[in-house]
Amino acid sequence: MVIGVILGLLLGIVGTSVPWLFPYIFTPDRMVSQEVSLFFFQNLDYIFVLFPLSFLIRCNLFQNVWQCYQSLEAKLLSSPVVYFVP
């Protein structure tokens, strides 16, 4: 697990720093690079506020659904009569 965390962080740092340090490595067109950076800076509120908020909401919903599913499964497995549908 530690190796996965280290490799994930390393890959993430390299993957995000290469386009920032060398913006013209993928395309020589300056308009494309300017549009990408303009899009990024105009959507900072979504990137840093709305996306983490939506992620937390999805995680919370998943945890609530998972608890209901686990309790239902435990109830079905603990019943004395089990029917197998062919």
- pLDDT, tens only, 55-79: 788 888 887 777 777 777 777 777 6
Q: What 3-state class would DSSP assign to 2?
A: helix
| pTM, full prediction | 0.37
**Cα–Cα distance list, 77 to 11, 63, 80, 81, 84 (Å):** 43, 21, 8, 9, 12
How far is Cα 35 from Cα 71, in angstroms, rounded to an integer? 50
What pLDDT digit, counting tens, does each position of 19-55 carry?
Answer: 778 877 777 777 877 777 777 777 776 667 777 777 7
DSSP 43: T
pLDDT of 7: 92
